[in-house]
Amino acid sequence: MTRKTAPGIHETNLDRRRLLAAGALAPLALGATRALAAPEAHGTPLAGNFPIPDLPGEKMRWAIVGLGNFAVGEVIPGMIDAQHSRMTSFVSGSPGKQADLGARYGVSRFYNYENYDQIANDPEIDCVYIVLPVGLHAEYTIRALEAGKHVLCEKPMANTSAECDAMIAAAKANNRQLGVAYRVHFEPNNAQAKRMIANGDIGDIRFVSCDHGFNASLDWPPHVWRLQKDLAGGGSMYDIGIYGLNTSLMMLGDEMPVDVSATYSYPRDDVRFLEVEGGIDFRLRMAGGITVSGSSSYCWSPYISSQRYVGSKASIFMKPATTYDRNAIVIEGNGPTREIGAGNPLTQFQNQIDAFSLAAKANTPHRTPGEMGLRDIRIIEALYRSADNGGIPVKL
């Protein structure tokens, strides 16, 4: 088996040791799962608008790679709530976390980053969920594909479009599914908004805006690697702006913009932003004349997640738009302002996992494939090219 190593991987492993040495990767607060945020969420049936057909035969068996904040808080609870998927394995650099989580969730097959390739010989793993820092996505995705496993990789797909190309090529060469975990596609309120837009309920779309941001902290380990270019790929646009980008394109039918432009927007003397950008304002010009105007930032309080779809008859305002548990649709115009709740947002995690299991089992394309992740990294690379050159439009 040929192992393809992601560029920069040696540096990123060193970074991990640096963080460990500094005590930055302290044991997780394992109690801080999403069950605390919304106890009613567990065991909630799938939202009616996501009919997932019965999977013939066994549930698909999953390995979770990287037991960090998001994996413990959202991915693992989503796995527990899933109907067609079950967790069999953890891949982690921390035996302590594996033991704690294994005892809690009945998982006993453990791998680390050194013996990871041995998953090839493990018949109890069909799918691998990569929940590592972005700079490690390409290497660990390709190794899993070469081990014969299907891979769902967290967003953003990788540091560069060249890495995304290599991941897609590995999926093709090994005849395995590769998905990017754009959970919003599986979130009931966003799915409802998408249906309303497609049905023409707000008329023709004239303008889209999307704003996403939070305040990044050098004191919290999951934010520390997000400020290091080799582990994060880029700054706020990679991590949080990508929600606005991907969700807007989903609502507009997933067409590629004609051209894009951007300017950086963050305090240049802020020590958090020595390697990655702290904020960016961007515009996507779509065929047909629609503009998507977006922004993302690592300097905002509170956490902001909002999208507005302005139509010729009415507008849909989603605020919050892309959170784990609180998304809502407000319709303004063409009658009184009204709010619609289309289902429990927390079901997006199990919906996504089950949809991927089904696609992998049936060998049918996943709804958010590697090609979509590549498209978004290409767009972000073009946004950076524009911002580096004074905001000039860059054609795609």
Q: Which residues are catalytic?
A: 155, 243
Choices 13-21, 265-273, 339-347, 364-372; region in contact with ligand NDP by CB under 6 A: 13-21
DSSP 8-state symbol, 262 = E
Distance (Å, whole) CA 343 – CA 23: 40
Q: How many residues does the chain have?
A: 396
Does position 393 interact with ligand NDP (CB under 6 A)? The reply is: no
CA–chain centroid gap for 214, Å, is: 16
Supply the minimum distance, in Å, between the C-beta of residue 240 and ligand NDP.
Answer: 9
Strand partners, 283: 261, 293
Does position 235 interact with ligand NDP (CB under 6 A)? The reply is: no
Using CB under 6 A as the binding rule, the residues of this chain from 95 to 114 that contact ligand NDP are 97
Distance (Å, whole) CA 164 – CA 374: 5
Query: Of residues 221, 233, 343, 370, which one binds ligand NDP by CB under 6 A?
Result: 221
**Between 239 and 354, whose beta carbon lies closer to ligand NDP?**
239
**Between 140 and 282, whose beta carbon lies closer to ligand NDP?**
140
Size of site (CB under 6 A) for ligand NDP: 28
**Between 15 and 163, whose beta carbon lies closer to ligand NDP?**
15
Among 144, 155, 248, smallest CA distance to 205 is for 248
* Residue 178 neighbours by CB under 8 Å, 6+ apart: 141, 145, 150, 151, 153, 167, 168, 170, 171, 366, 369, 370
Supply the minimum distance, in Å, between the C-beta of residue 66 and ligand NDP.
Answer: 3
Choices 90-98, 187-195, 197-205, 276-284; region in contact with ligand NDP by CB under 6 A: 90-98
Query: Of residues 8, 46, 47, 68, which one binds ligand NDP by CB under 6 A?
Result: 68
Does position 177 interact with ligand NDP (CB under 6 A)? The reply is: no
Does position 66 interact with ligand NDP (CB under 6 A)? The reply is: yes
Using CB under 6 A as the binding rule, the residues of this chain from 236 to 265 that contact ligand NDP are 239
Supply the minimum distance, in Å, between the C-beta of residue 160 and ligand NDP.
Answer: 15
Distance (Å, whole) CA 24 – CA 217: 12
**Between 146 and 239, whose beta carbon lies closer to ligand NDP?**
239
* Residue 224 neighbours by CB under 8 Å, 6+ apart: 19, 24, 218
b/e 114-153 (16+ beta carbons within 10 angstroms → b): eebeebeebeebbbbbbbbbbbbbbbbbbbbbbbbbbbbb
Alpha helices in 199-346 (DSSP H): 221-224, 229-232, 236, 242-251
Enter the tokens of residue 340. 């619609």
Supply the minimum distance, in Å, between the C-beta of residue 373 and ligand NDP.
Answer: 11
Rule CB under 6 A: which residues touch ligand NDP?
Answer: 12, 15-16, 19, 66-71, 92-94, 97, 131-134, 136, 154-155, 181, 183, 221-222, 225, 231, 239
